[in-house]
Amino acid sequence: MTLGMRVSGGVAVLLWVLGMAAGLTLAPPEEHMSDLVRIMFVHVPVAWAAMATFTVALVASVGWLATHRWGWDHLLDASLEVGVLLGVLLSVQGSVWGYPTWGTWWTWDPRLTSVAVMVLSFLGILALRAFVDEPEKRASWSAAASILAWGSVPFTYFCVKVMNSLHQKQTPWGAMHPDMLKALLLNTATITLLTVWMLMARYQLARTELRRELGT
């Protein structure tokens, strides 16, 4: 990994940790919601980052199918892996959030299940990539599968939107305590920055691996 990447990585991680620290300490607990709301400071940014990453996978898939340039395939490889990571994290956070509110670690709440379905769809594509040896076939097939699987992203967003409006006493963004809003925006920025860095690092890894595979 180049020096530039290492330094930028360190900065991104540092900011990310600071953001979380802010989420844990600075923002005052809301009067009728307990400190539990602090989970939101990591949950919402990760949700946004995961869906954005899967959308990058969609763009990369269309890019590869249109131009057959390897850069798109590397981006697809990176965004699938980072997306699944964020998706798994999202599910874990969701169930941790769920326990105090519903008394169970997992329940048929559309938000939880739709995230799990989204993650499983793209996890399947990672498995597909592992089981196909031909680089061109692997790229085209996983691109086609990613385009099909992307449908789960709006489906998840729709479930979250509908369910939040039904259950959550979540205060709309405006009325939220300014400190809480600041903490949330800070965390969103740092998680997004970290996600972009992870995508770049994984992109370079994919490029190196393909060079080794093709022996060029």
Partner 1 sequence: MAPPAIATAGAGRRFIGRWAVRGVTLAVPQGAFLLVYGPNGAGKTTLLRLMGSALAPNEGTVSLFGGEAAPARSRVALLTHADGHYDELSGRENLEQAKALGGLRGSVDEVLVRVGLHLRARDPVRQYSAGMRKRLAFARLLLKEPELALFDEPYAALDEEGHTVVDALFQELHARGTTVVVSTHQVARVSALCTHHAELCAGQLVAFGPGAPARSRQGVRAAGSLGEPSAEGP
Partner 2 sequence: MMGVVTEPWPFVWSAYGATVVLIGGYLVSLWVRSRSTGGGDEQA
Partner 3 sequence: MKEVVRQCSLVVRKELLHLWRGKARLVATGAFAFANLVVFSFAGGLHGEAMRTNAAGFLWVGILLASTLALGESFRVEVQNQALEAMVLLPVHPAAIFYGKAIGNFVLLSLVGAVMVPCSIVLFDAVPVGGLGRLFLTIPFGAAAISAPGTMHAALSCRARSRDVLLPLLLFPLVVPGLVAAVQATQLCFLGDAMGEYGSWLTVLAAYCVVQWGLGGLLFSHIVEE
**Residue numbers of the site for partner 2 (CB under 8 A)?**
1-2, 5, 9, 13, 16, 20, 23-24, 32-36, 38-39, 42-43, 46, 82, 85, 88-89, 92-93, 96-97, 99-103, 169, 194, 198, 201-202, 204-205, 208-209, 212
| Interface region with partner 3, contact rule CB under 8 A, candidates 45-53, 95-103, 115-123, 167-175 | 115-123
Distance CA 64, CA 10 (A): 31
Distance CA 112, CA 41 (A): 17
Q: Which does 204 bind (CB under 5 to 8 A by kind): partner 3, partner 1, partner 2, none?
A: partner 2
Q: Which residue has the tokens 């097939």?
A: 141
Query: Residues for the chain: how many in total?
Result: 216
If binding is defined by CB under 8 A, does position 213 make contact with partner 1?
yes
Query: What is the phi/psi pair of residue 175, to 5°?
Result: -75, -5
Q: Which residue has the tokens 């919601």?
A: 33
Tally Cβ neighbours within 10 Å of residue 10: 11
CA distances from 155 to 115, 118, 158, 161 (A): 9, 9, 5, 10
Start-to-end CA distance of the chain, whole Å, equals 19
Q: Which does 208 bind (CB under 5 to 8 A by kind): partner 3, partner 2, partner 1, none?
A: partner 2
Query: Per-residue string for binding with partner 1, 126-155, x by CB under 8 A?
Result: -------xxxx-------------------
Whether the Cβ atoms of residue 91 and residue 109 lie closer than 8 Å to each other: no
Residues making contact with partner 3 (CB under 8 A): 65, 117-118, 120-121, 123-125, 127-128, 131-133, 137, 140-141, 143-145, 147-149, 151-152, 155
Binding site for partner 1 (CB under 8 A): 133-136, 213-215
